[in-house]
A and B are shown apart, each in its own frame.
Chain A
Amino acid sequence: DTGVSQNPRHKITKRGQNVTFRCDPISEHNRLYWYRQTLGQGPEFLTYFQNEAQLEKSRLLSDRFSAERPKGSFSTLEIQRTEQGDSAMYLCASSLAGGPGSYEQYFGPGTRLTVT
């Protein structure tokens, strides 16, 4: 399967704990996006990378959230001191800049986070 993959698929944690999610984009894609989706809503943008550079961050991304893409391939999203309001599906998407399909973002299956 050469699509976007995310791990873990599910994570249950206690309030105050730190969690880290991983995203592996489609192999030749140089742009990587993180979105958050709560129940009954559309995904909301969090941040995006072009290669290893983080180019945009949403105001939704509080100081407790940090994302990295150290080698321009996979990315990690860490949430420190989790709160119940962080419970959501965290989605990763990737795209290929510069080509005719540069607008098309392809999503992974998501990581569902439950904070108890």
Chain B
Amino acid sequence: GENVEQHPSTLSVQEGDSAVIKCTYSDSASNYFPWYKQELGKGPQLIIDIRSNVGEKKDQRIAVTLNKTAKHFSLHITETQPEDSAVYFCAEMYSSASKIIFGSGTRLSIRP
């Protein structure tokens, strides 16, 4: 079935520390895993993605890891800044023509 579980639902970290958000999926056919950041009153913004043939991808302060065997994937944000405060969604797709299946979101707060 189509299901993405995301943890934690809320996360508060000190500015400068790292934040980690974890997701699990159930559809073994899924092969694309995007992460979206949503700020209040705005649409989701694609921040990073990973394909199933790659185990890790990094873009400046953010990185994603994927374990296809365990069906786990994670978002890592290092050196957190106040502008990182937002709701983050993990997601899965099984083909480029398919819909995105979203997790339930993680509200990340950065404490000054």
Using a CB–CB cutoff of 8 Å, the interface residues on chain A facing chain B are: 4, 31, 33, 35, 40-45, 48, 50, 55-56, 58, 91, 93, 95, 97, 102-110
Contacts and interface: CB of A to CB of B under 8 A. Distances in A.
Contacts of A35: 100
B96 A103 contact: yes
Contact-residue size bin, chain B (C-beta under 8 Å from the other chain): 20 to 34
B70 interface: no
A48 B99 contact: yes
B108 interface: no
Given A42-B89, A102-B96, 19 more contacts: A33-B99, A33-B100, A35-B100, A40-B104, A42-B91, A43-B44, A43-B102, A44-B102, A45-B99, A56-B99, A95-B96, A97-B96, A103-B34, A103-B93, A103-B96, A104-B34, A104-B46, A107-B45, A109-B41
Contacts of A33: 99-100
A87 B8 CA distance: 26
Interface of B: 32, 34, 36, 41-46, 49, 51, 89, 91, 93, 96-97, 99-105
